[in-house]
Chain A
Amino acid sequence: MEEIGADAGEASDEADELDDVRRALRALKGEVEARLRGRVPTSRAASVDWEELFDRARRSLSTLGMVERSGEVDEFGMDEVVLSRAARLFDFLMDTWWRIETVGLDASTPRTPSLLVANASGLLPWDAIMIAHAVARAQPGVERPRFLVADWLITLPFMQPRLACIGGVRACRENAERLLRSGRPVVSFPEGVKGSTKAFRERYRLKRFGRGGVVRTALVTGAPLVPVAVIGAEETHPVLFRVTTLARLAGLPFLPVTPTFPLLGPLGLIPLPSHWQIRFGPPLDLGPVGPEAVEDELLVARLTEELRERLQGMLSQGLRERASTWG
């Protein structure tokens, strides 16, 4: 009993001491404030702080919205903080703007890093972002897929840092192989520039699949190839015709003329709200073929063609089953 009493007494002593310290600090603070008030001109606080305004303007101009980046990026420059902030926009696009339905995502997409092969559509990689986002949402905890971006787009100023933040990587075999080897799924568009510059009347007709790079990558890394048919994305920027000469000057492969662009200026860059469906096909496992088949040009060409036909079949089926483009 006594001991407890003694303890309580000590505790109250300590509390008293703390109170003293607090009082002293408060007094000190009051004094400091009182003295400073005399020095700092009060009018300045009321007027605009030009220095800070200039600083803020300069910073936002110099980085154009890239300031709020986290310190850490992964080895391909993907930034989790930027991604989590962008997730709200992606969710909006996915659920409200394009009302995207995904088919076959859980059943057929293997959890091993796979090479997702999709039809290219439009100049901006909205389809790639949406595929990656759909997979990331459906399979939380698994590495987010990275998407491969054509050279001309990723080398544009302002484009490269932004795309890298959200998982865009320059399309080349070295990058794809490294990503797959490090356990990250990859979204690729083997049609390349030919695919994204398709005119509206050529929509959903797959172009040649490059020179077999996708199949070669899959063979070397042993990653399964998953055909992904994106239906609806090819109506987001219906290209009526292209202007080439003027675009070459700006370093673009061509300048698209759509019903809204360049008629409405930057507003024309807003993608049209078509109804999307993303179909994940059954994976094409090249494991039994083996990595040494990379050297066999004819086999690679045959496999590439097979993959293309499979994806074309999925696209045609999806188009037949689609009720309406905009509904």
Chain B
Amino acid sequence: MVSEAIVDSPSCIAITGLGSFFGQRLALRLQAQPRPPVVVGLDLRRPYRLEGQVRFHRVDLTDPAAGSRLAEVLVRERVEAVVHAAFRRDPTPDLEYDHELETVGSLHVMNACAAAKVSRLVWLSSTMLYGPRPDNPNFLSEQHPLRGHPDAHTVRNRVESEELLARWRERHPDAEVTVLRSCWVMGPSFEDHVVRHFESPVVPTLLGYDPLLQFVHEDDLLDALVRAVLERHPGVYNLVGRGVLPLSTLLSLAGKRSLPFAVPLFYRLGRWPHQSATGDPPAGFYDYLRWLWVADGERGWEAFGEPAYSTREAWISFVSSRRMRRYR
């Protein structure tokens, strides 16, 4: 494994969405490698934390000409691998902007990779794309259709971008595309609307539903990302922690209280897409606390190694870090 990694590892790696949590952390991790590759960062703003460590280029993926601009950068920097992490952690109320960035922006990235003949593309995706459905099997494999959620526009955008990617992959059979679908991320520093939902001492839940949930720790996801870009793992992988826990157990482990709401009442509220502006969970979120959408991580564990944290440990790591923060 190691020798293969050294022979095969790209010497120049571009990261779209450098300012995002995983973009930044991945850049730092790559710098800490024994033979650090050149990291080219692409984003709207230059992250000051990475000053002098990455070659930064300002690229706006919502710009209609982003494709050619990106291709130009990729060629000039002789990029060998691209990590596409420019996805929103939280949906914005601006549905159109999100669509331009996530769906059309992804298309620009693919086209630029094709034009610049970049052979390796790593795609950060989510198991949320399978969608919470009453008719899901208990474990969703990578072959399961991405059904998304009709109300959650970011999920819809990303399903669309993955469909575009699948079509692109057919047209470019020699490109190595790795899609990492991670479940909800927990850890001491990661934050998104899911984490914020679980952060408060009283967590809204749905009356009569207690789905099994799974989490992956931020470090495990980063380790897998590093391996995906440095080694050779073409294909689609679910990236989850081992084990599942019911929502009620998670809350009691954390010493949190659940605030159950009756479903009809809640759904009326949850349909407003603009809710996210107020910091409430985005539309469709509560279905993820209602139905099963647990993914089967076997393939991912085989390819990227045993995760250091199980679902329970990732959750406890999140809970204990927040507890410390409260007393600081």
Contacts and interface: CB of A to CB of B under 8 A. Distances in A.
B246 A161 contact: yes
B243 interface: yes
A273 interface: no
Contact of A66 (B141, B248, B253): B248
A155 B287 CA distance: 12
B263 A73 contact: no
A77 interface: yes
Interface stretch (B35-43, B115-123, B254-262): B254-262
Contacts of A169: 138
Contacts of A205: none
B252 A67 contact: yes
A157 B212 contact: no
B137 A73 contact: no
Contacts of A326: none
20 contacts: A62-B207, A62-B260, A66-B210, A69-B246, A69-B248, A69-B249, A71-B249, A71-B312, A73-B212, A73-B246, A75-B244, A76-B138, A157-B206, A157-B207, A161-B208, A170-B138, A170-B292, A175-B139, A178-B137, A178-B139
A156 B291 CA distance: 11
Contact of A75 (B138, B211, B263): B138
Contacts of B258: 62-63
Most chain B CB within a 10 A radius of its CB, from A76, A161, A172, A175:
A161
A158 interface: yes
B209 interface: yes
Given A62-B258, A178-B137, 8 more contacts: A73-B245, A75-B139, A76-B138, A151-B134, A157-B207, A160-B209, A164-B212, A178-B139
Contacts of A164: 212, 246
A170 B137 contact: yes
A73 to B, nearest CB: 6
Interface residues of B, number: 30
A164 B208 CA distance: 13
Given A161-B209, A172-B137, A174-B139, A71 B260 contact: no
B135 A151 contact: yes
Interface in A148-177: 151, 154-158, 160-161, 164, 169-170, 172, 174-175
Interface string A122-157: 000000000000000000000000000001001111
Among B139, B211, B246, max chain A CB count under 10 A is at B246
Contact of A77 (B135, B206, B246, B253): B246
Contacts of B260: 61-62
Contacts of A178: 137-139
A157 B139 contact: no
A58 B138 CA distance: 30
Contacts of B207: 62, 157
Contacts of B210: 66, 160-161
Contacts, number: 78
A161 B263 contact: no
Contacts of B291: 155
Contacts of A71: 245, 249, 253, 312
Interface in B232-285: 243-246, 248-249, 252-253, 257-260, 263
Nearest to B245: A73
A77 B139 contact: no
B208 A158 contact: yes
Q: Which of B141, B248, B263 has the most CB of A within 10 A?
A: B248
Contact of B134 (A59, A61, A155): A155
Contact of A62 (B135, B141, B259, B312): B259
Given A77-B244, A170-B138, A157 B208 contact: yes
A146 B137 CA distance: 15
A61 B207 CA distance: 9
Nearest to A76: B138
B160 to A, nearest CB: 25
Contacts of A73: 212, 244-246, 249
B244 A157 contact: no
Interface string A89-111: 00000000000000000000000
A108 to B, nearest CB: 29
Interface string B105-131: 000000000000000000000000000
A124 B206 CA distance: 23
The 9 closest A-B pairs by CB, nearest first: A157-B208, A174-B137, A161-B210, A155-B134, A158-B208, A62-B260, A172-B137, A77-B212, A62-B258
Interface in A163-200: 164, 169-170, 172, 174-175, 178
B249 A75 contact: no
A58 B202 CA distance: 12
A172 B212 contact: no
Contacts of A172: 135, 137
A48 B101 CA distance: 58
Given A158-B208, A160-B209, A175-B138, A75 B243 contact: yes
Interface string B187-229: 0000000000000000001111111100000000000000000
Most central of A59, A63, A67, A154 by chain B CB within 10 Å: A63
A158 to B, nearest CB: 4
A171 B101 CA distance: 39
A175 B208 CA distance: 23
A32 B206 CA distance: 45
Nearest to B140: A174
B138 A161 contact: no
Contacts of B263: 157
A3 to B, nearest CB: 52
Contacts of A161: 208-210, 246, 248
Contacts of A61: 260
A306 B287 CA distance: 42
A85 to B, nearest CB: 16
Contacts of A155: 134, 291
A76 B212 CA distance: 8
A265 B207 CA distance: 22
